A and B are shown apart, each in its own frame.
Chain A
Amino acid sequence: MMHLDEKIWLTLSFGIIMIFMLITGYQAFALEMGPPSHNEILDPQKVDETAPFDEPGIKQIGEKEYEVVMTLQVFSFTPMELEIPAGSTVHFTLTSKDVVHGFQVANTNINAMVMPGHIQKISQKFSEPGEYLVLCNEYCGAGHQLMSTTITVK
């Protein structure tokens, strides 16, 4: 029923899918490059009273290491306009005070969904100096296109 070349084709197809699986698994579990998947909850209607979001801001936690606690709400980020020295690693802790938002920094691998009721975490090392665009990439309402800020790496 099957031709030899079809068997070869299907074996290759299966092999490609398996190689994708292996690389994805190796990256996620051995290299700890898994996608942002933090599992912690809070009351979305009491974000301002819940630690750590009662004190949003940027804090140095080590040499060239920073923690940013940030809330997303229509149509802004709190805090806005961050500044860090080049070569810093930044750990973002994020949540939404209203609808679903997306947290993306252009020209980096930062890309995460930020949902009300859930705390999301993502880290990134900023090696190159310059100004980075932070934007919301999930439609969140009439001013969605205005929801952006910057990270300045000096």
Chain B
Amino acid sequence: MDAAIEQNRRAAVLSEKKNKVLGVCLEDARISKSYLAVAFVALLLGGLLGLLQGLNRAGVLELPAWLNYYQILTAHGLLLVVVLSAFFTIGYFYAGLSHTLGGLLPKVRKLAWIGFWTKMVGLVLVVVPVLMNEASVMYTFYPPMAAHPVFYFGLVFVVLGIWMLATGAFINVAHWRKNHKGQHLPILAFFATGVFVLLVGATAFVAVEVLFMIIPWSLGWVETINVMVARTLFWAFGHTAVNIWYLTAVSAWYVIVPKIIGGTRWNDYLTRVVVIALVIMNITGGFHHQIVDPGISLPIKFMHVFMSLAIGFPSLMTAYAMFRVFERTGRRKGGKGALGWFKKLPWGDVRFLSPFIAMAAFIPAGAGGIVQSTNQLDQVVHNTMWIVGHFHLTLGMSVVMTFFGISYWLVPYLSKRVLTPQMNKLGVIQTIIWTVGMVIMAISMHAAGLFGSPRRTSFTTYGDFAETLGWNPLMTAVGIGATLLLIAVILQVHAVFNMMFFAPKGEVEFPIAEVEKNETAAPYMTERWGIWVVVMMIVIAMAYVLPLTDMIVNAPPGSPPFKTW
């Protein structure tokens, strides 16, 4: 056993050396750079639309007749929740796979390109009907609201692209495992495997919804649709999607950030357990979006409270692990006393500062998530601005600020350029502006939601109710937050493209932290992905078979399509 561990360690060191000598594989880098470029263009457009919304809800901007609020909101959601997040995740993990598995296989590279263009075609098909105001149906596109059929065909292409990328990742991982029998998958590739398993699992639900229910109905081949089944399938996807972006951020917290602060990473076994737990329990969490729905019985809803809250547990494990790593590293650098270690962390390094604030934001964000997953508390805040505040904390801070932090080393690494001290300073300023903007916006949104202000609603006073209910000053603050955020977006996008094309040439490392020297290796059990996928499917079956069967067997007559905008 010890010999095997020693051998693993040597092999790891060897592959690390090889990567250092060879540097980044240029062909693989081109793939990741293309994905990142699309992601940050989406950030720019999505941020701009976000500002228009913020100013509209603040009551200072009346939108022209040819550009309505709901059209902008649909595009804002899709650009940021689907395009920015998915493209960044793929670009980052493909770079990680290339780096830790010794390069992408030629056929995987080919798949990645086909997947890229499939997704781009899908995107165009989705965006054009939105621009023409033929698909103002939001990111959730709940039937019986029906968009132009082309919108749904676009979604199919996006999903197909994701499946190609997932297949490519699985092929590369399987190839590595075949040549490294008995070894643990490098940790970043392990996270990537979990993320792509979840992506396939989540998109399978929305693929069934779109392909077998919505498309035949929007083309007029069938007259009506089962709205509850469609909605339930959507949320099996919709919530998992955002959790996948979160898991991507978590991978950087465990693997990258410890290296950047000059420390070692958290216990390898526990890290892998967290990944496995997040994969197994994730998809069933989507049901908590339906707590105040009709047609789902109270016992089923109660079971789903448990399934949703269960995801909180691995996140609480993560919270402990992160601060423990910070403390350990800070103390080794000479930090004394209860909090001396805190000062030893590299606060001036944007690659640390941005993900650190992201993690800190997850404390209130996760607590809010636990609160609103419980039945009665959800009833208070469901579909109010509170929810919008919640996902601007989770996605807008925890996920996206981690992505920003990654960009300051990943983009230079891929482009064979360096992060200059000036660019680092710009990054720190950008991080601070983004943080202030997001904090102002998220707090105001949470408060407005508690006072009853609904989400997804363009500027309205409801007579003089907005005034008497105390929404107006809060919505003004949302507008101020959105303005600051757009400034930060412009700085961030500038930084990414500067580092991609104009920064001084040079080599930077792909920061992957080592485990502690005397740590015992994780049992090989963690690598049995076949078992974890089966367990995941059993959990999904426990959660969904009963309610879905009930919705299908006891279905009301269906609904015809409506275009209400």
Contact = CB atoms under 8 A, between A and B. Distances in A.
Interface in A84-116: 98-100, 102, 104, 106-107, 109, 111-116
B375 A117 contact: no
Of B384, B556, B558, chain A has the most CB atoms within 10 Å of the CB of B556
A46 to B, nearest CB: 8
B469 A39 contact: no
Given A20-B309, A27-B376, A145-B459, A102 B469 contact: no
B313 to A, nearest CB: 6
A42 B556 contact: yes
A24 B301 CA distance: 11
A117 B556 contact: yes
B454 interface: yes
A98 B301 contact: no
Interface in B321-355: 324
Q: What class of interface size applies to chain A in its complex with B?
A: 35 or more
B537 interface: no
A141 B383 contact: no
Given A13-B316, A17-B313, A116-B144, A34 B298 contact: yes
B7 interface: no
Contacts of B305: 20-21, 24
A140 B563 CA distance: 10
Interface stretch (B80-88, B209-217, B286-294, B505-513): B286-294
Contacts of A139: 70, 138, 456-457
Contacts of B375: 24, 27-28, 33-35
A28 B304 CA distance: 13
Contacts of A119: 294
A142 B565 CA distance: 4
B103 to A, nearest CB: 33
A144 B454 CA distance: 11
Contacts of A74: 562, 564
Interface residues of B, number: 68
Given A137-B384, A144-B456, A145-B459, A115 B227 contact: yes
A144 B69 CA distance: 11
Contacts of B316: 9-10, 13
Contact of A113 (B292, B297, B520, B560): B292
B292 A100 contact: no
A53 B319 CA distance: 51
Given A37-B301, A43-B557, A107-B469, A113 B293 contact: yes
A67 interface: no
Interface string B527-565: 000000000000000000000000000111111101011
Given A117-B556, A145-B460, A37 B298 contact: yes
A137 B455 contact: yes
B176 interface: no
Interface string A23-49: 111011100011111111111110000
A100 B227 contact: yes
B153 interface: no
Contacts of A111: 292, 379-380, 382-384
Of A14, A16, A74, A113, chain B has the most CB atoms within 10 Å of the CB of A113
Nearest to A142: B565
B312 A17 contact: yes
A42 B557 CA distance: 7
A133 interface: yes
A144 B302 contact: no
B317 to A, nearest CB: 7
Contacts of B462: 133, 135, 148
Contact of A41 (B269, B456, B469, B556): B556
B452 interface: yes
B469 A37 contact: no
Given A24-B302, A43-B556, A118-B294, A13 B454 contact: no
Contacts of B370: 16-17, 20
A35 B560 contact: no
A42 B324 CA distance: 56
B438 to A, nearest CB: 23
Contacts of B424: none
B8 interface: no
B298 A117 contact: no
B270 interface: yes
Nearest to A143: B564
B509 to A, nearest CB: 29
Interface string B424-464: 00000000000000000000000000011011111110110
13 contacts: A3-B324, A29-B302, A34-B298, A39-B294, A98-B562, A99-B145, A100-B231, A113-B294, A115-B293, A115-B294, A137-B457, A141-B565, A142-B70
Top 3 A-B pairs ranked by shortest CB distance?
A141-B564, A106-B452, A117-B556
Interface of A: 1-3, 6, 9-10, 13-14, 16-17, 20-21, 23-25, 27-29, 33-45, 74, 98-100, 102, 104, 106-107, 109, 111-120, 133, 135-142, 144-146, 148, 150
